[in-house]
């Protein structure tokens, strides 16, 4: 939920801000289904404001909401990537009332995504700057480091995260904070459910950001932030390796870059944008069918992440810009499932 260059979000956090900012963005080209401008056959859906969660932080000069994910009781959790030390880094929102509260902060992390584990029910978040995956209770208590350190001799810059049915974590490693961030040095990483082992499943990726399993968990969409491309991977029967991979969708968005992703129960793919306040929606075959847009007067510049509440068509997106960090709602094309919920 994203951070790579697309989130120039990172222009924030002290000495690591410049690296983080660059590390959260994206653009490149290859063959595949091309998404051009919307046509008469493609819908434009206007999202509705739910809540303003943050304002621009004086210390970092920005705010960037990411990683929306619903708890079982229907509350929405999300992270603020560029929150300064001590400021709220994980927020919880009642989408019915718009009320929000802070449940977690620390003095070092840049949290970029969030998702609840299907195994232990804890909230897992990625720390882009710290190269870590953390978990905590839904109340923000008992924080634990699940994974940290180098992998195959290179540090991790974990961006988005998704779980398979066994509780294994699939993480996009931007690996782009070591400038220049646009070089294809990113990785897709699988971390075992207990965090004891980590394996590189794919490498030489152009700042991988969003990832979303297909409804049957046999395939995985991966967005490349500095490639403006979406790859499609199929997995081995045990889910521990990549069976096939190819560039599936090329996204031409001008100055914008693709960010995080979600999939609904019908297999439709929702892709957020950095530097444009819109969500692109593709059908299961990769054809662009809709854009979900934030009102023109909203004064936000990006809509980087999406979640659809499981069992409903209640979709939300996170938008950030001069107006601060806001949550908007929309009606999804299909019901939410676990892969729709965070990342």
Whole-number pLDDT of residue 12: 35
d(CA 61, CA 159): 21
d(CA 30, CA 52): 38
Q: Are strands 288-293 and 43-46 parallel, antiparallel or unpaired?
A: parallel
* % of the chain surpassing 70 pLDDT: 86
pTM of the model: 0.89
Q: Which residue has the tokens 């090329």?
A: 250
pLDDT at 23 over 50: no
Q: How confident is the model at residue 183 (pLDDT cuts 50, 70, 90)?
A: confident
pLDDT at 82 over 90: yes
pLDDT per position as a tens digit, 84-113: 999 999 999 999 999 999 999 999 999 999
Sign of CA dihedral 213, 138, 1, 130: negative
Whole-number pLDDT of residue 176: 58
pLDDT at 178 over 90: no
Show the tokens assigned to 210. Answer: 């969003």
pLDDT at 13 over 70: no
Say if residue 180 is preceded by a cis peptide, omega within 30 of 0: yes
Enumerate residues 6+ apart whose C-beta is below 8 A from 81. Answer: 3, 7, 9, 10, 12, 20, 24, 64, 65, 66, 110, 111, 112, 128
- The predicted model gives 23-47 an average pLDDT of 54
pLDDT per position as a tens digit, 243-288: 999 999 999 989 999 999 999 999 999 999 999 999 999 999 999 9
Whole-number pLDDT of residue 182: 77
Half-sphere exposure of 219 (CA within 13 A, CB side): 18
Whole-number pLDDT of residue 169: 97
Other beta carbons less than 10 A from residue 313's beta carbon: 15
Q: Which strands, in side-by-side order, build the sheet including 33-35?
A: 33-35, 242-251, 229-235, 219-224, 208-213
**Helices (DSSP H) in the chain: which residue ranges?**
17-22
Closest CA to 209 of 269, 256, 165, 157: 157
Whole-number pLDDT of residue 27: 29
Q: What is the mean pLDDT of the chain?
A: 88
pLDDT per position as a tens digit, 188-232: 999 999 899 999 999 999 999 999 999 999 999 999 999 999 999
- The predicted model gives 127-141 an average pLDDT of 96
Other beta carbons less than 10 A from residue 142's beta carbon: 9
- The predicted model gives 49-58 an average pLDDT of 97
- The predicted model gives 312-332 an average pLDDT of 98
């Amino acid at each position: 939920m994203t951070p790579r260059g697309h989130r120039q979000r990172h222009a924030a956090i002290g000495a690591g801000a410049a690296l983080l900012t660059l590390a959260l963005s994206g653009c490149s080209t290859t063959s595949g289904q091309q998404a051009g401008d919307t046509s008469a056959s493609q819908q434009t859906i206007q999202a509705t404001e739910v809540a303003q969660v943050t304002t621009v932080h004086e210390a970092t000069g920005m705010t960037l909401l990411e990683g929306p994910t619903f708890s079982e009781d229907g509350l929405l959790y999300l992270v603020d990537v560029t929150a300064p030390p001590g400021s709220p880094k994980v927020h919880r929102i009642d989408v019915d009332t718009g009320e929000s509260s802070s449940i977690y902060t620390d003095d070092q992390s840049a949290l970029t995504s969030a998702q609840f584990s299907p195994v232990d029910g804890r909230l897992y978040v990625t720390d882009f700057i710290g190269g870590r995956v953390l978990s905590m209770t839904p109340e923000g208590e008992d924080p634990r480091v699940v994974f940290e350190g180098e992998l195959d001799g290179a540090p991790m810059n974990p961006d988005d995260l998704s779980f398979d049915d066994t509780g294994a974590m699939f993480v996009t490693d931007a690996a782009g904070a070591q400038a220049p961030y646009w070089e294809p040095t990113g990785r897709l990483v699988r971390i075992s459910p207990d965090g004891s082992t980590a394996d590189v499943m794919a490498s030489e990726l152009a700042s991988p950001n969003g990832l979303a399993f297909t409804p049957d968990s046999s395939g995985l969409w991966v967005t490349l932030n500095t490639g403006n491309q979406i790859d499609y991977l199929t997995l081995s029967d045990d889910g521990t390796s990549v069976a096939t991979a190819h560039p599936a969708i090329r996204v031409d968005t001008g100055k914008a870059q693709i960010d995080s992703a979600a999939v609904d129960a019908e297999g439709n793919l929702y892709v957020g944008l950095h530097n444009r306040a819109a969500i692109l929606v593709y059908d299961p075959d990769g054809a662009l069918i809709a854009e979900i847009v934030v009102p023109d007067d909203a004064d936000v510049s990006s809509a980087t992440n999406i979640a659809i509440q499981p069992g409903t068509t209640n979709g939300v997106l996170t938008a950030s810009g001069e107006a601060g960090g806001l949550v908007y709602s929309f009606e999804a094309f299909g019901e939410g499932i676990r892969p729709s919920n965070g990342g």
